[in-house]
């Protein structure tokens, strides 16, 4: 029977994250799924609060979406559910279109999930899983830190029992300052107790389900002592039962307005999900199928859209929680979903007594966890420039909003990559100790040997950087202590040559030839040679000027026994 199921799985590409599964493994994962539910249910209620959705929709995100990813995804570890980053992204836009928790707001949130599912499906069809690589880890750390700050600020009102709420972080801080005299002391005391207990146990008892204990205790105390009558705000009536299945009802104009929001969610989902699945797959020596995970994520978001929930994401935080609980396959997520069904059918009515301040405090601790000070410190010590990018991204999220912040994050990641290609490191072989040539930064006035310059360009040649190449070559030749007879280009880092760069290189070859300088290309790989042939560079340089190794080029330049001159590895 197990082999039969495995054959079906291989053919229709479902249950990759579940099978193969033995009886002992199923029992282990089922128990881990129940434990994960005890830790995660309070968090998804908090994420619903971040999203501006009714609390029960947080439970909806860990029902049908979890099941959908378990069937269609490939990762055995990724937990796909509500997430603070994506919740903040769409909430920042939807709050300007409809009142939070209203029926119109819920319909808009469902349409964002459906549009996100469509984008993920397109990405799966065209195998665009590689897009995850374009959001650097540095910028992602900064983005999540910014989200943490913004979410933490947004929760201050509920934690202090203050009326009113501002959409922008700066405005929310100003509101808290203005209304400080109206702080509800019992609400603040409860919030402080929950935050301190959660952070303390996270440090010393990380497996303790403190958020669940806080929720259960808060509900019990609220029911017994009548918190609502004492000015402590509570959730109020919560719809029970399984989620209704329906199509989000919005206008075409609203769909167009929501497309940028869905695109931002799409970028964050692809980046975070790919990162989380890769980390845990490597930990357990498993293969990664990013494109199959895209299909699972598309199915999960479609399920969220039709079940009254909101955008779901492959959460690194919740995936780490699941790993600590002992999950080793998506069967644990199916057990988690079963626990949620029990809660929806039999216990949802008790949620009406849950104080807002407890949910806000749980969310506040989640937000603090998004600010990875240890990693930011490591980035700062290793690469101050990348640290500046991370801080800039965080500031953009806090000051201009999450939706624009994710676009800034992507743009910064791409610009950083383009900057390295645009102005790469260049080196020249120069005389060192014991007559050995060593690579040094390429500056005018240095030559490798009388009549010889060996120059290395550290990136592909394309339209944006070809003039740097030409200018570098001219400057090195003009500033050389003696006129070079041979100029050797170490092309080991060049794998591509476009049309514009080819024209510049061809003109440089002709110019140097008229000046009596032979231009040689060393360490030319097959891809660069193909481009040189196609763009007509080979006849200009001549066959005798293109070599597969540096030593061959040096011999042609008249350097006797070049092995003894060149430092090993250059």
What is the full DSSP assignment across 178-211? Answer: HTGGG--HHHHHHHHHHHHHHHHHHHH-TTS-HH
DSSP code per residue over 214-259 = HHHHHHHHHHHHTGGGGT--B------SSPPP------HHHHHHHH
| % the chain with pLDDT above 70 | 91
Give kind and range of the element (H or E) at residue 282: helix 252-283
pLDDT at residue 565 in the model: 60
120 Cβ contact list (under 8 Å, min separation 6): 266, 269, 270, 294, 295, 297, 298, 301
d(CA 549, CA 395): 48
Q: Which two tokens stand for residue 182?
A: 């109206």
Q: Which residue has the tokens 């780490």?
A: 320
Cross-strand pairs, 458: none
| Tokens matching residue 405 | 């912040």
**pLDDT tens profile 190-239:** 999 989 998 898 888 877 778 878 888 888 888 888 888 778 888 777 77
Strand partners, 314: 80
The residue extents of the domains of the chain are 2-417, 423-564
Selection from 311-325, 356-370, 491-505 with the highest mean pLDDT: 491-505
Average pLDDT, rounded, for the chain = 83
Most confident of 168-172, 215-219, 470-474, 565-569: 470-474
pLDDT at site 326: 75
Task: Report pLDDT for 279.
Answer: 64
Whether domain 423-564 has CATH 3.40.50.150? no
**Per-residue pLDDT at 272 exceeds 90:** no
d(CA 313, CA 319): 11
Peptide bond into 20 cis (omega under 30): yes
Task: Find the range with the poorest average confidence among 263-267, 377-381, 557-561.
Answer: 557-561
> With bands split at pLDDT 50, 70 and 90, how would you rate the model's confidence at 174?
confident
Note the pLDDT tens digit of each residue in 522-533: 999 999 999 999
What are the C-alpha distances in Å from 364 to residues 38, 168, 187, 369, 370? 19, 17, 14, 9, 10
Q: What is the DSSP string of 18-52?
A: T-S--HHHHHHHHHHHHHHHHHHHHHHHHHHHHHT
Q: What is the DSSP letter of 557?
A: T
DSSP state of 449: B
pLDDT score for 144? 75
Q: Are strands 518-522 and 486-490 parallel, antiparallel or unpaired?
A: parallel
Residue 436 sits at the vertex; the CA angle it makes with 431 and 437, to the nearest 5 degrees, is 50
Q: Which residue has the higher pLDDT, 406 or 306?
A: 306
> Which residue blocks in 284-401 are alpha helix, DSSP H?
290-306, 316-325, 331-346, 356-370, 373-382, 384-400
Quick check: 382 pLDDT over 70?
A: yes
For residue 563, what pLDDT is reported?
Answer: 56
Q: What is the pLDDT of residues 328-355, one digit of tens each?
A: 888 988 999 999 999 898 887 887 888 8
pLDDT mean over 172-191: 86
For residue 92, is pLDDT > 70?
A: yes
CA distances from 95 to 107, 145, 165, 364, 372 (A): 13, 22, 11, 20, 28
Produce one character per residue of 248-278: b if its CB has 16 or more CB atoms within 10 Å, e if not: bebeeebbebbeebbbbbbbbbbbbbbbbbe
Closest CA to 77 of 304, 269, 325, 372: 325
2 pLDDT more than 60: no
In degrees rounded to 5, what are phi and psi of residue 523? Answer: 55, 45
pTM: 0.67
Q: At what angle do helices 84-94 and 402-422 cross, to 10 degrees?
A: 120
């Amino acid at each position: 029977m197990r082999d039969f199921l495995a054959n079906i799985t291989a053919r229709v590409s479902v249950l990759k994250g579940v099978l193969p599964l033995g009886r002992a493994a199923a029992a282990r994962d089922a128990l881990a799924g129940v434990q994960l539910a005890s830790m995660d249910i309070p968090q998804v209620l908090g994420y619903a609060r971040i999203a501006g959705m009714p609390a029960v929709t947080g439970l909806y995100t860990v029902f049908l979406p979890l099941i959908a990813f378990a069937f269609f995804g490939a990762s055995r570890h990724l937990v796909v559910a509500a997430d603070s980053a994506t919740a903040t992204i769409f909430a920042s836009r939807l709050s300007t279109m409809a009142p939070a928790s209203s029926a119109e707001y819920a319909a808009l949130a469902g349409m964002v999930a459906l549009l996100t599912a469509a984008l993920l499906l397109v990405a799966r069809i065209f195998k665009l899983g590689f897009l995850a690589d374009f959001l650097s880890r540095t910028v992602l750390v900064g983005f999540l830190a910014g989200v943490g700050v913004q979410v933490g600020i947004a929760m201050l009102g509920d934690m202090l029992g203050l009326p009113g709420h501002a959409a922008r972080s700066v405005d929310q801080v100003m509101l808290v300052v203005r209304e400080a005299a109206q702080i509800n002391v019992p609400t603040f005391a409860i919030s402080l107790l929950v935050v301190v207990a959660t952070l303390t146990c996270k440090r010393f008892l990380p497996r303790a389900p403190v958020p669940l204990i806080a929720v259960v205790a808060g509900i019990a105390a609220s029911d017994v002592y009548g918190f609502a009558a004492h000015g402590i705000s509570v959730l109020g009536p919560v719809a029970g039962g399984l989620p209704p299945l329906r199509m989000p009802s919005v206008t075409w104009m609203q769909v167009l307005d929501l497309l940028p929001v869905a695109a931002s969610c799409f970028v964050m989902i692809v980046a975070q999900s790919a990162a989380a699945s890769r980390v845990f797959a490597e930990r357990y020596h498993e293969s990664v199928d990013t494109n199959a995970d895209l299909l699972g994520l598309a199915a999960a978001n479609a399920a969220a859209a039709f079940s009254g929930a909101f955008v779901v994401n492959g959460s690194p935080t919740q995936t780490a929680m699941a790993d600590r609980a002992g999950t080793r396959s998506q069967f644990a997520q199916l057990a988690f979903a079963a626990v949620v069904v029990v809660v929806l059918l039999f216990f949802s009515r008790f949620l009406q007594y849950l104080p807002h301040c407890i949910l806000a405090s749980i969310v506040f601790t989640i937000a603090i966890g998004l600010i990875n000070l240890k990693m930011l410190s490591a980035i700062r010590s290793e690469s101050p420039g990348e640290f500046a990018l991370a801080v800039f991204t965080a500031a953009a999220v806090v000051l201009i909003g999450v939706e624009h912040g994710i676009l800034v994050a992507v743009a910064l990641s791409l610009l950083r990559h383009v900057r390295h290609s645009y102005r790469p490191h260049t080196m020249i072989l120069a005389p060192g100790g014991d007559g050995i040539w060593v690579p040094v930064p390429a500056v005018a006035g240095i030559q490798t040997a009388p009549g010889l310059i060996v120059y290395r360009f550290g990136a592909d040649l394309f339209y944006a950087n070809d003039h740097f190449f030409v200018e570098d070559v001219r400057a090195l030749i003009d500033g050389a202590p003696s006129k070079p007879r041979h100029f050797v280009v170490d092309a080991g880092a060049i794998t591509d040559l476009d049309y514009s760069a080819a024209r510049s290189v061809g003109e440089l070859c002709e110019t140097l030839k008229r000046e009596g300088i032979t231009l040689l290309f060393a360490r030319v790989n097959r891809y660069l040679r193909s481009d040189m042939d196609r763009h007509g560079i080979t006849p200009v340089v001549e066959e005798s000027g293109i070599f597969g190794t540096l030593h061959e080029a040096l011999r042609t330049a008249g350097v006797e026994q070049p092995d003894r001159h060149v430092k090993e590895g250059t």
